[in-house]
Structures are given as C-alpha cells and as structure tokens.
Amino acid sequence: MRQDERLLHGSTFGTAAAAYAEHRPDYAEAAVRWALELAPGPRVLDLGAGTGKLTAALVALGAGVIAVEPDPAMLAELRSALPTVRALAGSAEAIPLPDGSVDAVLAGNAMHWFDMNVAGPEIARILQPDGILAGLWNVLDDRVDWVAGLERAGGSAAVGPRDTFSSWRAATFEAHLPGSGSVARFGSPEQAEFPHGQCRNADSLVATLATRAGILVMPEQERDATLRRIRDFLASRPETASGDFTLPMLTGVLRVRRL
Ligand SMILES: C[S@@+](CC[C@H](N)C(=O)[O-])C[C@H]1O[C@@H](n2cnc3c(N)ncnc32)[C@H](O)[C@@H]1O
C-alpha cells in the first residue's frame, strides 16, 4: 500500500467509532499472554489503541497499561469504556512518553498503519532494553469452507491478506521493519496463532465487516454493493442464514525484541 493510501485508510476508523466499539472482536487471552511473556516488566503501551479492545484485555491480565491513539473519536470511546486507564492522544510516530518508560508495546490490528521508518525508532526510544514489540491481528479461519466463501464474496477490501489464517503470517512478517535503507531496531520476529471466535449473526457480521478500513473508504454505492454481496452470501449458507453462530477466528501475534 502506498504511503498516501496508508494514511487515508489508517485515519478512517473514527468515522465509525461507535460501531467499531460495538462490533469489533476482542483478542484471544492466550495470544495477549504470549505477546507479553518475554517482557522484562509489567509496563505496557497499547499503541493505536482505538476504542480499547486490546487495552481491556491487558487490564484484565493485570498489566500496567497506557493507551495511545491518534483519532479523537476512537479515543473518546476508549475513555468512556475504560475511564481508569491513562489514555493519551498521540501516534506511533510521535509517542507522548519518556525514553525507556515501558517494557512492552502492543498494537492490536494497528501496526500495519504505522510508518515504521519513523515509528520504529520512536517505539525503540520508549522501550526498555530487551523490551518487546508485538503486533496482534484477529484473522478469519479460512480453513473453514464457509469462511473461505465469505472472503471471496467480500473481496479484498473486506477481507484482505492480513485478515486470514492462510496469509496473515506472510502479510505481517515484516510489519515491524522500516523501509529499505533504515536501521532495524528489533531482532528476528516470532509468529504464532491462538484459537478465537466471536458470536455473530448475519446482521452483526455485516456490521463488523462494515468497520474495516477498506470498506469505510469506499464511495457509498460501492460500499452498499459490497455489503449487499456479503449479506446475500450469508443468507445462502446454512451455517449463517439464521440465528447466532461463532465466527471461526484466530488471533495471530508477531513479536520482536528491541535490539
Ligand atoms: C483497526 S483499528 C485497531 C484499534 C484497536 N487497537 C483494536 O484492537 O481494536 C486501528 C487503529 O490504529 C490507529 N492508527 C492509525 N494510524 C496510526 C498511527 N500512525 N499511530 C498510531 N495509531 C494509528 C487508528 O486510529 C485506529 O484506532
């Protein structure tokens, strides 16, 4: 994705902040534990924290969490859901924290929006030596037949390479690296997946997919047509045509250590 597209897509979530808070999934607890297990201490920054989906998981695990988020509407949702969490306006490229002040930086479905040429040194600055940077991505389990069909029906704007079990590893393997020519700030990446799921019905799954950046930036007609295609597909499948079902998912984690 080009830099201008990345900026446009990455800044669009605030237009659907309430729907995001209502419909996006949380993260598999085992994934969050794995992301944190090598951290040298309990201080964690949730970077690109959005409405606080990952922040809430970190609070539940007893981490000392600070949330940083650039979008005012997303930040307002987070502050309302988690009033006791220290939540700051800022971005991965300009983090409002002192040098060496956290033991881990986690980013839930957000690292791919960072400009790592700038964000890499900035994240390294605020991390302790040996601190951990981890990206988490909730991905659809496309080994399940109807989920693979959903991917085809939605198209890449709704379900892209980062969003499925079969391709998230390749799509994120270099997410922590700067563009060529810059100094790498982190060691070799490790990746792992953890089973997850979300209770949905056809309407709430359409509402979830409608909060994806690729859909939010579409012209209205194209967005309506895409969501109609998804709705028609879900109505055509016995697994999703009526009532509640569990959306088969995994939480994928990429973790690296600060050099
Ligand atoms: C898909 S949402 C994920 C939100 C939250 N982490 C979660 O797990 O639900 C991506 C978030 O990254 C934020 N974001 C986009 N560009 C960013 C940047 N350069 N630095 C920090 N956050 C960014 C967006 O505002 C948005 O809240």
> What is the tens place of the pLDDT at every residue in 107-129?
999 999 999 999 999 999 999 99
| Ligand 1 pocket mutation, candidates 6, 8, 74, criterion most atoms within 8 A of CB | 74
Take atom 25 of ligand 1 and give the residue whose Cα is closest: 71
Does the structure show a pLDDT above 80 at 181? no
Atom of ligand 1 nearest to the CA of 92: 20
CA atoms of 191 and 254, how far apart (whole Å): 4
Q: Is the model's pLDDT at 176 over the cut of 90?
A: yes
Least confident window among 11-15, 68-72, 74-78: 11-15
Residue 243 DSSP class: S
> Is the pLDDT reported for residue 64 higher than 80?
yes
Question: pLDDT tier at 10 (50, 70, 90 boundaries)?
Answer: confident
Give residue-wise pLDDT tens across range 21-37: 999 999 999 999 999 99
Predicted local distance difference test score (pLDDT) of residue 2: 82
Q: What is the DSSP letter of 162?
A: G
Measured in angstroms, how far is the CA atom of residue 178 from the centroid of ligand 1? 18
**Cα–ligand 1 centroid distance for 69 (angstroms):** 7
How far apart, in whole angstroms, are the C-alpha atoms of residue 189 and residue 62? 25
Which residues approach ligand 1 with their CB closer than 6 A? 10, 13, 24, 47-50, 53-54, 69-71, 74, 91-93, 108-110, 113-114
62 Rama class: left (phi>0) / alpha (psi -120 to 50) / beta: left
Distance 182 CA to ligand 1 centre (A): 23
66, 72, 102, 107: which is closest to 84 by C-alpha?
66
- Atom 4, ligand 1: which residue's CA is nearest? 50
Instruction: Please tell me the residue having the least CA distance from ligand 1 atom 1.
Output: 109
Q: What is the mean pLDDT of residues 147-154?
A: 98
Mean pLDDT over all residues of the chain?
96
pTM (two decimals): 0.97
Query: How much is the pLDDT for 60?
Result: 97
Average confidence (pLDDT) over 6-35: 95
Give residue for tokens 């998912």. 249
**pLDDT per position as a tens digit, 186-244:** 999 999 999 999 999 999 999 999 999 999 999 999 999 999 999 999 999 999 999 99
**Over residues 2-12, mean pLDDT:** 86
Segment 41-52 shows an average pLDDT of 98
What is the 26 CA–ligand 1 centroid distance (Å)? 14
CA 212, 214, 220, 224 torsion: positive or negative? negative
Residue from 243, 253, 256 nearest 30 by CA: 253
pLDDT of residue 3: 84
Q: What does the alpha-carbon distance between residue 15 and residue 123 come to, in Å, rounded to a whole number?
A: 27
Mind listing the pLDDT tens digit for each residue in 99-108?
Answer: 999 999 999 9
- Write out pLDDT tens, residues 129-148: 999 999 999 999 999 999 99
Characterise 243 by phi-psi region: left (phi > 0), alpha (psi -120 to 50), beta (else): left
What pLDDT sits at residue 180?
A: 67
- Per-residue pLDDT, averaged over 2-28, amounts to 93
